Structure 1
Amino acid sequence: MQIRISWPAGQLTATLGDTPTSMALAKALPIVSTACTWGEEVYFDTPVSVAAEPDARQVVDPGTVAFWTEGDALALPYGPTPISRGEECRLASPCNVLGRFNGDPRLLATVRSGDPIRVERVDPA
Structure 2
Amino acid sequence: MELTELRYSAEHEWVAVDGEIATIGITDYAANALGDVVYVDIPEEGTDVAAGATVGEVESTKSVSDLFSPISGTVTEVNQEVVESPELVNSDPFGRGWLFKAQVSEVPADLMDREAYLKLTED
Q: TM-score, normalised by structure 2?
A: 0.30
Q: Which has the higher contact order (CA 8 A, sep 6+)?
A: 1
Q: TM-score, normalised by structure 1?
A: 0.30
